[in-house]
Each structure stands twice: as C-alpha cells, then as structure tokens.
Amino acid sequence: MPAAGETAGGCAGYCPRCGRNHFLDGVAARPAALALMQFFDDNDHVHLARPENAPDDRTKTAPLFGPERGKMFGVLLCRDVQGKTKILYGFSGMFNGHWRMPGWVGPLFDVDTFHDLVVSVERSIKQLGRRMKQEKQNGTAWGRLRTRRRDLSRQLMQRIFALYRVPDFRGGRHTLFQAFVGESGMPTGTGDCCAPKLLAHAARHRLVPVSLAEFYYGRENASATRVHKHFYPACEEKCAPILGTMLCGIGEMDAQDTTI
C-alpha cells in the first residue's frame, strides 16, 4: 500500500492548445491496480485472459525480480459511450522483449512498421561496421564510414519517434514532436510509458478516462527510486511533456455524456 504522504498519482500536463494544465485522477483506479498486483502474485505471469496458463517465456514475471529488474504497470479506469466501466491495462516499454501482449494495450506506433525500420537500419549499421574492419583504423576511409554509422544511429531514434501517433480526446492526432512541450530534446522512451499507451488506446476506442494508477512491480531499480508495489504518478521527464496534449478534451467528453 502507498506510504503516508505519497502523492495521489494520476497524471497531469500543460496543454498548449488550452493554455492550462489538464489533470486525471489517480485514486479511483487503485483498487483495480491492487487486484492486478494480486493477479501477478497469484499467477507469476501476465496473461490476463488465461490465468490458468502456466508462465511461459513471453508472459512470466520472474525476470522482473532478476538482473533486468522491475517495471511500471498502469491501470486506466474508463467509461464507454453507454456509461459502462472499462478497465485498461498497460506496461511500460516492452515486456519480456515484446511490445504486444494479450489483454494489454499496445504501443503508440504500428509494431510491424517499427520492426521493419529497426531491422533495416541495424543491418546497414552492421554492414558499415564490417566495411570499417577492412579499412586502416583511423584512416580517411575508416573515418568516413564511422561518421556515417554514427549518423545512421542518431537518425534511427528520430525516425522511430516519427512513427508514434498521439491522439487527444477532441479527435485530434499529433506526432510526438507536436505533442511534446519542453525546451530540452525528447528523452529516449518518450511515449512508451503506461500513461500515454493507456490514454491513446482509450482515445482511439472512444473511452472516457476516469482515473489512472501506475505502480512498480519487481526488484527495485538501481537508484531505488522505484519500489515493489508502490504507486507513482506519471513521470516528469517523458510523460508530463506530452500528457497535456493527450488529456485535452476529456472534460468536453464528460459534458457531452451528461446531456445525453
């Protein structure tokens, strides 16, 4: 359970369109988050649709307690157009090397397009590495190849970011570059946390978010800022800069619903 004084969680961000912050509650989703922790405790895997399955290489939670350490998980409480409660589940980044997992929301980009891009660019990077081995180290040709290899790696990150589609709750769609509010560059992994994945899925399926709870599960991170089963608000570095745009329009959806 959260320690006394721990923040209520949820998420917030500055919306450039409205010129103010948008917020989402972090409390109402906690019972569903606690139930998810209990599911992990009881089953040692994350296959929500098939609790009776034994843990396998794709679904097992055991690696969360090993050298790779734990991970953030999120639960988004929503209402559908009929007013029925829906619960969405998300994990940060990849789980056991997978972007997709049955019963969980996916990332903000098309996974097949992502893999095609990464595979082709990494092939080129390896080719350049092999050609460098044939040249005299620190020679002119070698230096040129090294520069090209470095540029390719840098461009890859930007090309990956360009695959992300960031919806809001007004029917708008943005790129990560458009959604990101901040002076500094976008950190690696922006858009891969639970909050953006969950909100994007809700927006695409016309679900109205009510509350978001995120918790850490597994061996604490190296700096001990993330502790097993503790709740945390959406992160400041990667999430806060895009959440203002993503949360935009939630209030309007609520207003529409109450007039029906």
Instruction: Give the residues lining the site for Zn ion (CB under 5 A).
Output: 15, 17-18, 193, 235, 238-239, 248
Q: What is the DSSP string of 53-68?
A: SPP-TTTBSGGGGSTT
Least CB distance from residue 190 to Zn ion, whole Å?
A: 8
Closest listed residue to residue 165, CA positions, set 199, 135, 140, 137:
199
With respect to Zn ion, which residue has the nearer C-beta, 59 or 245?
Answer: 245
For 60, counting Cβ atoms within 10 Å of its Cβ (0-12 exposed, 13-18 middle, 19+ buried), the class is middle
- Name the one residue in this structure whose structure tokens are 């540029």: 151
Q: Name the residue nearer to Zn ion (CB basis): 15 or 76.
A: 15
**Contact criterion met (CB below 8 Å) for 119 and 97:** no
- Minimal distance in Å, beta carbon 42 to Zn ion? 27
Give the span between the Cα atoms of 37 and 136, in whole angstroms. Answer: 56
What minimum distance in Å lies between the beta carbon of 146 and Zn ion?
A: 34
Choose between 70 and 145: whose C-beta lies nearer to Zn ion: 70
Q: How far is the CB of 174 from Zn ion (least distance, A)?
A: 12
Q: How far apart are CA 112 and CA 114, in angstroms?
A: 5
Pairing label, strands 208-217, 71-79: antiparallel
Report the residue number, 61 or 241, with the smaller CB distance to Zn ion: 241
Nearer to Zn ion, 15 or 29 (CB): 15
The distance of closest approach from Cβ of residue 217 to Zn ion in the complex, given in angstroms and rounded to an integer, is 15
Q: Return the DSSP state at 140.
A: H
